[in-house]
Amino acid sequence: MPALVLLGAQWGDEGKGKATDLLGGSVDYVVRYQGGNNAGHTVVVGDQKYALHLLPSGILSPGCTPVIGNGVVVDPSVLLSELSGLNERGVDTSKLLLSGNAHIITPYNVTVDKVTERFLGKRKIGTTGRGIGPTYADKINRVGIRVQDLYDESILTQKVEAALDVKNQILTKLYNRRAIAVDQVVEELLGYADKLAPYVADTVLVLNQALEEDKVVLFEGGQGTLLDIDHGTYPFVTSSNPTAGGACTGAGVGPTKISRVIGILKAYTTRVGAGPFPTELFDEDGEALRRIGGERGVTTGRDRRCGWFDAVIARYATRVNGLTDFFLTKLDVLTGWEQIPVCVAYEIDGKRVEELPYSQTDFHHAKPVYEMLPGWSEDISKAKSFSDLPKNAQSYVKALEEMSGAPISAIGVGPGRDETIEVNSFL
């Protein structure tokens, strides 16, 4: 079973870092295939806490080669500062591979992200402001800058010129901002070339060769299923494909190579940014989930919106990703509630609906239909096996599994590396 995809089954922030890190010790390559430094993974190793944005979690496992695939958008300054931050803490980052085809988040992409959001006002998406959307827009518009362009000054200059030609018109005439100088951008980008050179590689070739040699490759999704540009709650989504298919295009491997797709599922639901969220809580329960779960964005520091578990979304994630397993995280956060509501269906304009509506209007009108499950009060953070969990916690997990449509193969009971119950092995 050499190729696994690990991705968020909800709106991101499900605790993917912990899951990837758990597997990191037994895999040969950990690959990011989409997104950029809009992501934020927290990995706790011993008493050390690492916040990663762009680098794959595998960077913390000495035997593992971390890879940034062609589908990722890369802000070179963020990448270099994340690398030097890890080096200062004694982490060896020399094995990192960076696709020459990955697109670069330029300074003007960041500017456009911020001014567009400001311009949208009430209708803003609530982006992370990292330039993600505008960089993917340039990629699709065929005016993007790729990592390989840093090594040909003439090509780089022509491409920056082409990109800024239109953007400067928009910035000056529509947004009333100053034009951005081509030379300045080119100079800044060229300044990254030598520093990035040791990492740049043909990652598609490397990964396919690795798979031929039966090496274990883990594809690590950023964000989550409901933030997918095609399958998420459009337009309140990110600009890439975190869903399983994105691993194929964003890393250059065929779908026949993927053997397992693991969805990371939080035992309740969170979301950052704008957009519909049927089980969102505005009361003290929501506040308690936020406080106990530490639900504050790793990247933006924004408070996350919190709500009960939504089985309709979990079923949807199983379907669009072809999930083979779930990794249930943060079960410990639910300790202490007498009863735990779980959303089993929606009521939309007076009708009960079991599956995620494809219409944006319907989804905005969806009200959760709850089933109450009995809670538990015992500390579960020391549980090592499923049978160590209190009966009601076991029933909660079993109920989620049944509603969600794939086996729950691991359960997170605390933030630490060891605080995980493995029900079935992933490898």
- Under the rule (CB under 6 A), what is the footprint of ligand IMP? 11-13, 38-40, 125-128, 130, 132-133, 222-223, 227, 236, 238-239, 272-273
Pick between residue 66 and residue 134 the one whose CB is nearest to ligand IMP: 134
Q: Are 417 and 334 in contact (CB under 8 A)?
A: no
**What span, in angstroms and rounded, lies between the C-alpha atoms of 280 and 86?**
36
Which residue number has the CB closest to ligand IMP?
273
Q: Reduced to 3 states, what is the DSSP secondary structure of residue 52? A: strand
Active site residue 41: yes
Nearer to ligand IMP, 204 or 298 (CB): 298
| Whole-angstrom distance, CA of residue 397 vs CA of residue 374 | 12
Q: Output the smallest distance, CB 267 to ligand IMP, in A.
A: 17
11 vs 308, which CB is nearer to ligand IMP? Answer: 11
Q: How far is the CB of 412 from ligand IMP (least distance, A)?
A: 17
Specify whether the CB–CB gap between 10 and 266 falls below 8 A: yes
Interatomic CA distance for residues 56 and 20, integer angstroms: 9
To ligand IMP, the closest distance from the beta carbon of 272 in angstroms equals 4
- Told to judge if 103 belongs to the known catalytic residues of this protein, a careful annotator would answer no
**Crossing angle (nearest 10°) for helices 107-120 and 153-169:** 20
Write down the catalytic residue from 13, 21, 28, 310: 13
CB burial of residue 331 (10 Å; 0-12, 13-18, 19+): buried
Minimum Å gap between C-beta 294 and ligand IMP is 14
Q: Is 344 left (phi over 0), alpha (psi -120 to 50) or beta?
A: alpha
In the complex, minimum distance from the CB of residue 66 to ligand IMP, in angstroms, rounded to a whole number: 18
Distance separating alpha carbons of residues 304 and 290, to the nearest angstrom: 7
Q: Which residue number, 238 or 324, has a Cβ lying nearer to ligand IMP?
A: 238
d(CA 131, CA 115): 10
Residue (203 or 239) nearer to ligand IMP, CB: 239
Q: Which of 21, 41, 138, 231 is catalytic?
A: 41
Known catalytic residues are 13, 41
